[in-house]
Amino acid sequence: MFKNIVTIILHQKTTKISALILGYLTWFFIAQYQNVTHSYIIPICFYNDENIEIIAPQSIKIKIQGHRLDIFKLHQQDLAIHLDATSFHNGINEIILNKENLFLPETLKLINLIPSYISINVTSKKHE
């Protein structure tokens, strides 16, 4: 009798399809919380720069890590390095980039910035 039940279960299409769906759903939910690393090229943005001209790199590369679901929800166009220009002086400024310049959700971790510092050239705008 036990042999007949096992034979019936193993040969029914609905049992096989149900097992396949259950396996896929289990993988799907577990994979969302897997830690992944992703790289982005993001722009460098300056604020409080009304009276100066800035010559600087346009973008940098960042690498972040977090749950697959959190990285999927992140929009690349929302990412940028933000630098306050009020502390700049005329001439060459060496700026060290860090996590505080990048507004990331707390669920994501910054792995690195490439380059980690930039040189910018600042000149005052001429008033006409």
Range with lowest mean pLDDT among 4-13, 24-33, 42-51, 96-105: 4-13
Residue with tokens 């977090």: 66
**104 φ, ψ (degrees, to nearest 5):** -105, 150
Q: Does residue 11 surpass a pLDDT of 80?
A: no
How many structural domains is the chain composed of?
Answer: 2
The CATH number linked to 87 is 2.170.120.30
Q: Does residue 56 surpass a pLDDT of 90?
A: yes
Q: What is the pLDDT of residue 113?
A: 94
8 A C-beta contact, residue 62 and residue 110: yes
Give pLDDT tens digits for 78-101: 899 999 999 899 999 999 999 999
- What mean pLDDT is reported for the chain? 87
DSSP 63-88: EEEEEHHHHHH--GGG--EEEEGGG-
Q: Let me know whether 13 and 51 are in one domain.
A: no
Q: Let me know whether 55 and 108 are in one domain.
A: yes
**What percent of the chain is modeled with pLDDT above 70?**
90
